[in-house]
Amino acid sequence: MNVEFINPFLSSLLNVLSTMAQTELKPGKPKIKKDEVACGDVSGLIGMVGPQTKGSFSITFDESLALTIMERMLGERPDSINEEVTDMVGEITNMVTGGAKNLLGEKGYDFDMATPIVVSGHGHTITHKSEGAKILIPFTSDAGNANIEVSFDKI
Q: Tell me which CATH code domain 3-23+36-154 carries.
A: 3.40.1550.10
3-state class (DSSP) for residue 90: helix
**Distance of alpha carbon 32 from alpha carbon 34, whole angstroms:** 6
Name the amino acid, one letter, at 11: S
Q: Mind listing the pLDDT tens digit for each residue in 105-128? A: 998 888 899 999 999 998 999 999
**Hey, where are the domains in the chain?**
3-23+36-154
* pLDDT for 131 beyond 90: no
Within 10 angstroms of residue 117's Cβ, the number of other Cβ atoms is 15
Instruction: State pLDDT tens for residues 24-37.
Output: 999 999 999 999 99
> How would you classify the pairing of strands 26-27 and 117-120?
unpaired
Read off the pTM. Answer: 0.93
Are the C-beta atoms of residues 10 and 27 closer than 8 Å to each other? Answer: yes
